[in-house]
Amino acid sequence: MATTAELFEEPFVADEYIERLAWRTPGGGSRGGEAFDPKRLLEEFVNHIQELQVMDERIQRKVEKLEQQCQKEAKEFAKKVQELQKSNQIKEAADIIQKLHLIAQELPFDRFSEVKSKIASKYHDLECQLIQEFTSAQRRGEISRMREVAAVLLHFKGYSHCVDVYIKQCQEGAFLRNDVFEDAAILCQRVNKQVGEVFSNPETVLAKLIQNIFEVKLQSYVKDRLEEHRKSDAEQYLKNLYDLYTRTTNLSSKLMEFNLGTDKQTFLSKLIKSIFISYLENYIEVEIGYLKSRSAMILQRYYDSKNHQKRSIGTGGIQDLKERIRQRTNLPLGPSIDTHGETFLSQEVVVNLLQETKQAFERCHRLSDPSDLPKNAFRIFSMLVEFLCTEHIDYALETGLAGIPSSDSKNANLYFLDVVHQANTIFHLFDKQFNDHLMPLISSSPKLSECLQKKKDIIEQMEVKLDMGIDRTLNCMIGQMKHILTAEQKKTDFKPEDENNVLIQYTNACVKVCGYVRKQVEKIRNSMDGKNVDTVLMELGVRFHRLIYEHLQQYSYSCMGGMLAICDVAEYRKCAKDFKIALVLQLFDTLHALCNLLVVAPDNLKQVCSGEQLANLDKNILHSFVQLRVDYRSARLARHFS
């Protein structure tokens, strides 16, 4: 059976088409030798007609689709032609009105006022039409049309209005999120890519957009955020001011990458200044006022938590006289105060004060004019000195000094070393903030020497009080040892009634004194650091030695009593090793050698006195020890020193 497509291979003629179809159909009767079969031929014709109908429908659909496409393209073409004609007409009209406008400027008003008025009216109408056309093109996003209209408007007085319209429409829907600074950065990034395709002076247009954002959007936003807390909440106001100024300068840094003309740094700085100038002018006064009230509140809250009413540390008159006498004589003037073990130093308070000051330094660095920065930083530092050093540390030292008992007090609790320990820790934190946060702000200004001197003065004042307190504490320790020796040491310890029945290795007084001393040595090590430990331990060790030396000279010694004294001094010497100070150990080594004079045979006395450890000692010292022997007179020992 012939296909429909094969029958269309030649030019179409209806009779010939039917003849070809019959000829190709078996039984069609058109070819010789074949019997004619009308049914088969009819069946073939019916099938073929159906195929033709299907083909006709398919072709009809293609025709309709092509017709629609053709109509659409025709409309688009007509529209483009119309736009081109309109564009050309506007350009021509703009060119004509421009020339007429220039000519009208030269015409005398009295004779050509009507003509000049009509020209001005047409000029204005066309200008408005162009701006409207630009506005519509911008809303449709037709960059090429915007460029054409902007190029025409460039020669009109209303060109700046065209730029204003562009800037206004750019910002529509641009500030929908909470972060106005991020929105502004994204908007400027987008406009920066587009503005060069539309305007012949893109840097001027972008700069005008940025100026509009700063003077309208950002200024309003900043004012709302700051005025809300300016008079009611200084802390929140300062936080907001720092945050807003930082974010504004960060935005300015991002905008520096765009082409904004010649001196974009000055341009952006002026915009920032215009927003913040009224807030920055009195910034430091707000900062100092807040820091003062906040620091006072932190301290008061701490003392309230301790149920402590701060006593005033007077100055002038009698108080100054007492202070000078106390410094020179180390005498406690007036009754000591029982602090119940409280140091009145708080690390939490210190951390809070330092944190507030650190934030103040950061704000000062950001918000101060460079010329005022060192001066402002010094004022903040002065606040720290006042509240941390004077009102907190110095007060604790004064209270601690007043709490040190007299040296003859029994069972005195010595808390001043706890004050020393905490004060040292605080000094380290204070010094760290000085170096980390203040120094960078003043390092290249005359205020550096002033700050260093202020820091040096305050530390020296406190060191005087620390030294005084440590000295009086050591006196108390020696006083406690005296009480132990007085209470526990008996005369019979060194002159027993039964020389052959001494069962102890060392006296009870020695045991208790050594136990007490070891605790104090450990406390000193825990309370001090660096060379201060050795300095204080050396002083305690020397006084400890003097106490034992003078104590031993109060007794008479039998032979067995002398042996017991040697055993006691050996224990004291073991205790002295804990000091880890060579001089202290040497003193007790010498004292141990002196005690040998209490037991050595009379004939060997001279030989022992000239021994290595005693040879350099004054003869009077050697003699004084020998005089303590019970056999001093009977054995005529004085002859060895005559």
Residues 110-135 pLDDT 10s: 555 555 556 565 666 667 777 788 88
pLDDT of 506 above 70? yes
If phi over 0 gives left and psi between -120 and 50 gives alpha, with beta otherwise, what is residue 445?
beta
Q: What is the pLDDT of residues 144-155, one digit of tens each?
A: 888 888 887 777
621 Cβ contact list (under 8 Å, min separation 6): 594
67: tokens are 């017709």
Q: What is the pLDDT of residues 443-481, one digit of tens each?
A: 989 999 999 999 999 999 999 999 999 999 999 999 999
Q: What is the pLDDT of residues 216-233, one digit of tens each?
A: 999 999 999 999 898 899
Amino acid at 382: S
CB distance 409 to 479 below 8 Å: yes
Say which residue, 40 or 54, is predicted with more confidence.
54
Compute the average pLDDT of residues 368-396.
Answer: 95
Say which residue, 33 or 593, is predicted with more confidence.
593
Percent of the chain scored above 90 by pLDDT?
A: 50
Say which residue, 170 or 584, is predicted with more confidence.
584
208 Cβ contact list (under 8 Å, min separation 6): 163, 167
Please, which pLDDT band fits residue 603 given cuts at 50, 70 and 90?
confident
CB distance 272 to 284 below 8 Å: no
Amino acid at 286: V
Say which residue, 277 or 2, is predicted with more confidence.
277
Compute the average pLDDT of residues 197-203.
Answer: 87
Owner of token pair 């504490």: 473
Percent of the chain scored above 70 by pLDDT?
A: 82
DSSP 311: P
pLDDT of residue 124: 67
In Å, how far from its chain's centre is CA 578?
Answer: 44
527 Cβ contact list (under 8 Å, min separation 6): 417, 418, 420, 421, 424
pLDDT of residue 34: 61
pLDDT of residue 5: 56
pLDDT of residue 1: 44
Please, which pLDDT band fits residue 262 given cuts at 50, 70 and 90?
confident
pLDDT of 93 above 70? no
Q: What is the pLDDT of residues 604-641, one digit of tens each?
A: 888 888 888 888 888 899 999 999 999 999 888 888 88
303 Cβ contact list (under 8 Å, min separation 6): 309, 310, 344
DSSP 3-state assignment of 618? coil
pLDDT of residue 118: 61
pLDDT of residue 85: 47
In Å, how far from its chain's centre is CA 481?
Answer: 51
DSSP 3-state assignment of 557? strand
Long-range contacts of 412-418 (CB under 8 A, 24+ apart): 412/476, 412/479, 412/480, 413/341, 414/473, 414/476, 414/477, 415/339, 415/341, 415/342, 415/343, 416/469, 416/470, 416/472, 416/473, 417/470, 417/473, 417/523, 417/524, 417/527, 418/341, 418/343, 418/527
Buried b (16+ CB within 10 A) or exposed e, 50-64: eeeeeeeeeeeeeee
* Alpha-carbon span 542 to 549, nearest angstrom: 10
pLDDT of residue 131: 78
pLDDT of residue 311: 79
Task: Please report how the helices 317-329 and 447-488 are oriented relative to each other, as an axis angle in degrees rounded to 10.
Answer: 60
Q: pTM here?
A: 0.74
pLDDT of 166 above 60? yes
pLDDT of 76 above 80? no
* Alpha-carbon span 368 to 276, nearest angstrom: 11
Compute the average pLDDT of residues 162-182.
Answer: 86
442: tokens are 């003043």
pLDDT of 334 above 80? no
pLDDT of residue 488: 93
Q: First vs last Cα of the chain: how many Å apart?
A: 163
Q: What does 29-86 look like in DSSP terms, one character per residue? A: S-STT----HHHHHHHHHHHHHHHHHHHHHHHHHHHHHHHHHHHHHHHHHHHHHHHHH
pLDDT of 101 above 70? no
Residues 386, 392, 393, 394: is their CA dihedral positive or negative? positive
Amino acid at 33: G
* Alpha-carbon span 597 to 565, nearest angstrom: 11
pLDDT of 40 above 70? yes
Please, which pLDDT band fits residue 8 given cuts at 50, 70 and 90?
low
pLDDT of residue 327: 46
79: tokens are 């529209």
pLDDT of residue 97: 56
